[in-house]
Structure 1
Amino acid sequence: MQNLLIQISPIGRNVMPLIIKPGPCCQRFHRCFTTGRVSYSRLNAARQHFTRHKKLFPGLLSQVVRQSATAAEAAAPEISQKAQKIVGGWLLSCAGMCAGAVLLGGITRLTESGLSMVDWKLFKDMKPPRSQQEWEEEFEIYKQYPEYKYVAQEKGDMTLSEFKFIYYMEWGHRMWGRGVGLVFALPALYFLKKGWISKALKPRLAIYTALIGFQGFLGWYMVKSGLQEQPNSTDIPRVSQYRLASHLGSALLLYTLFLWNGLAHVLPPAQIPDFKQLARVRGMAHGLMAAVFVTALSGAFVAGLDAGLTYNSWPKMADRWIPDDLLAISPKWKNIFENATTVQFNHRYLAQGTVVLISAFWLMVRKYPLPIRARLAVNCLAGMAFIQATMGILTLLWYVPTHLAATHQSGSVVLLSMATWLALELRRLPK
């Protein structure tokens, strides 16, 4: 209290002549401001003073509140650089776990393993079948669902060993998702108790918690769509491409948030020389990040509809720049999301457009005085864009081999990382 009075005494001196009235409470209140010494009688006098004369000094009251907040903030213990680095490393670890979940999810999809576990139980799922009898019981449950019926009709009966492979793929993906939650939640509680979480980061932790929980819900919601009976026995059982895109999009969003805040904790901010086009460069960097994100999201529709197998030529699609069946579905807008030809067409040109934008940005900023790390981020982004485009073309031409398609999906995460890093390096620093 004494330190607080010392902080706000200049305010009191400026307006004291306007509010001091005859009486012992006013005199004791005045001595509190002028001496900075506090006793029980003076605290009681201050209380009486505010009660009796509160209508006379609303301006002083508001200034006292503001000054008190400033003083309390200044008195709060600062988080050490070491603690900030540790928190940053933890956030980057969470980002790495999210990236691993995206990679495992892609492989699970490519190996057609996602529908092997036909229910979702938070704790029971953590223990896979162990005995031969348990495996056979689980296999019999799987046989009741559309995917097994389709495989048995088109490819012949599935063996128990084949079922074990796809089951373990899906089980590993689910356990990794639970691991993301643990890697986030346990250190978060510890750091909060230690006081290492800044005021700005605390609401973001709530957002991360909600997104992680939402991811688990979306995962099962997506799988559930593929367990429904198909209208025709020849239809391939698939999860909804809308739910798949939502699942991937929320995972990429969570990854980007973890990465941004993790890098902000571990990388010291670089001072950017002020030049005329700086605001424009910052805006374009965020635009590139959005373009990479949207292109990756369009890839989820390609995966959901197996659209990578419709036209396996480049740069044309079956010797045509615009295929005949681009708008085959009615109403027309559904082609964007439900026509495999249109979905591949969109992904192609979004990817090519993103590469062109990144290349143009690289050429434009060469003449600007960017810091060393920002310059490195631009170069890495441009180089990775061409690598990713090359992998996409080869995946298409070679009829989507699993290893190359999984590498291509991982490349989208790397490219998004580079774009996020660049936007972070060019961010506006608080004065």
Structure 2
Amino acid sequence: MGYLRATLRATDRIVGRWLLVCSGMVAGAVILGGVTRLTESGLSMVDWHLVKEMKPPTTENEWEEEFKKYQQFPEFKILNHDMTLTEFKFIWYMEYSHRMWGRAVGLAYILPAIYFWRKGWLNRSMKGGVLFLCSFVCFQGLLGWYMVKSGLEEKADSYDIPRVSQYRLAAHLGSALVLYCASLWSGMSLLLPHHKLPETHQVLKLRRFARGTAGLVFFTALSGAFVAGLDAGLVYNSFPKMGNHWIPEDLLTFSPVLKNVFENPTTVQFDHRLLGISSVVAITVMYLFSRKIALPRRTKKALKYLLAVAYLQVTLGISTLLLYVPTPLAATHQSGSLALLSMALWLMHEIRRLPK
């Protein structure tokens, strides 16, 4: 019986590490996708084939054919009509890297899942979770192509810069964040020992505070998709004011009013600022409140890391804005949102209620 329990613990550790690796690969896909967006490379591959497109062009004729296909679409006609083949190769390889990484993520989920399932290493609840993760990673790939298609369509207002729909971009990022969070949480649940915290009023309040803060961090990261989709980081490059005003005059110029939240670059940037500052304030207040509670050492460490990453992230965000969104700094800021979300999840996991 003791041998069986030891074996189960060993297999749980293996599955837990696999899930953490998968979450890391999803994080890599999110970061690479952000760089692809920042370098305006996402619309360079105009076809989607699961297997056929895995082989890149190798000859000059093949590259010319690929370039000709790109030239038929709005981004080339309106924005990149003077692009050279060499320049096209750069943006093509950026998008190609993102798509191939996405396929690698899919394989990293599906192939080990089949192996673990057949070996009997997954209990009933774990099987349900693994099925969800594997299905969701496939859905994420399809959603990515659905997003790209929106940037390849001819628009009535053809004078505008071709870009993917910010709604589809947010959906694509949001689903990636859900996949990341689910994988990270599942991995931690198998690897980190449970804390037996007393169910005091203060602990219950801290638990609610941690959940609310994690939700705020998630929605702040998601709002970044609307900032990226509308290039809203380029409209007001000053802080703390937006231009000469605390509340810009063009905040609610669209009609109906709700449209501003998702389509007005000024409002989108304003909301992202507000969410970011609110996240830092909430984390700071939660940290100060937690100092009154006797918590395990690992939980205190999670709180300190969350606070440190929050202030680093807001510093990166302000610097990105003031320096007019340089690609390396903007990519680091996008990566920071994942780091902050990870710390928030870690804290939630540390103080979660134990199963009965």
**TM > 0.5:** yes
Residue 277 of structure 1, CA deviation = 1.7
CA distance in 2, matches of 1:317, 1:152: 31
Change (3 A) 1:255 1:152: closer
Give the structure 1 partner of residue 342 of structure 2.
Answer: 417
Give the structure 1 partner of residue 72 of structure 2.
Answer: 144
Give the structure 2 partner of residue 248 of structure 1.
Answer: 173
Aligned counterparts, 1:337-356, within 5 A: 337-356=262-281
Give the structure 1 partner of residue 231 of structure 2.
Answer: 306
CA distance in 1, matches of 2:142, 2:304: 38
One-letter amino acid of the counterpart of residue 191, structure 1: F
Give the number of aligned pairs: 353
Residue 344 of structure 1, CA deviation = 0.2
CA distance in 1, matches of 2:140, 2:157: 31
Residue 148 of structure 1, CA deviation = 0.6
> Which runs of at least 4 in structure 1 moved beyond 6 Å after TM superposition?
none
Give the structure 1 partner of residue 24 of structure 2.
Answer: 96
Aligned counterparts, 1:162-201, within 5 A: 162-201=87-126
CA distance in 2, matches of 1:274, 1:98: 35
Q: Deviations over 1:146-175 (max 9, x none)?
A: 00112245xxx1111110110011011001
One-letter amino acid of the counterpart of residue 268, structure 2: V
Contact 1:145 1:227 in 2 (8 A): yes
CA distance in 2, matches of 1:274, 1:174: 46
One-letter amino acid of the counterpart of residue 83, structure 1: T
**Residue of structure 1 aligned with 2:323, choices 398, 402, 408:** 398
Q: Deviations over 1:96-133 (max 9, x none)?
A: 00000000000000000000000101101111111110
Q: Deviations over 1:169-228 (max 9, x none)?
A: 101100111111101111111111111112221111111122111101110000000001
Change (3 A) 1:385 1:152: closer
CA distance in 2, matches of 1:114, 1:152: 13
Change (3 A) 1:330 1:403: same
CA distance in 1, matches of 2:290, 2:51: 52
Contact 1:273 1:369 in 2 (8 A): no
Contact 2:32 2:98 in 1 (8 A): yes
Contact 2:79 2:162 in 1 (8 A): no
Aligned counterparts, 1:194-233, within 5 A: 194-233=119-158
**Residue of structure 1 aligned with 2:243, choices 306, 318, 327:** 318
CA distance in 2, matches of 1:146, 1:172: 22
Give the structure 1 partner of residue 300 of structure 2.
Answer: 375
Give the structure 2 partner of residue 135 of structure 1.
Answer: 63
Contact 1:177 1:216 in 2 (8 A): yes
Residue 280 of structure 1, CA deviation = 1.5
Aligned counterparts, 1:25-174, within 5 A: 78=5, 80-152=8-80, 157-174=82-99
Normalising by structure 2, report the TM-score. Answer: 0.97
Unaligned runs of 5+ in 1: 1-73
Normalising by structure 1, report the TM-score. Answer: 0.80
Superposed CA RMSD in Å reads 1.2
Residue 311 of structure 1, CA deviation = 0.2
Residue 383 of structure 1, CA deviation = 0.7
CA distance in 1, matches of 2:281, 2:206: 16
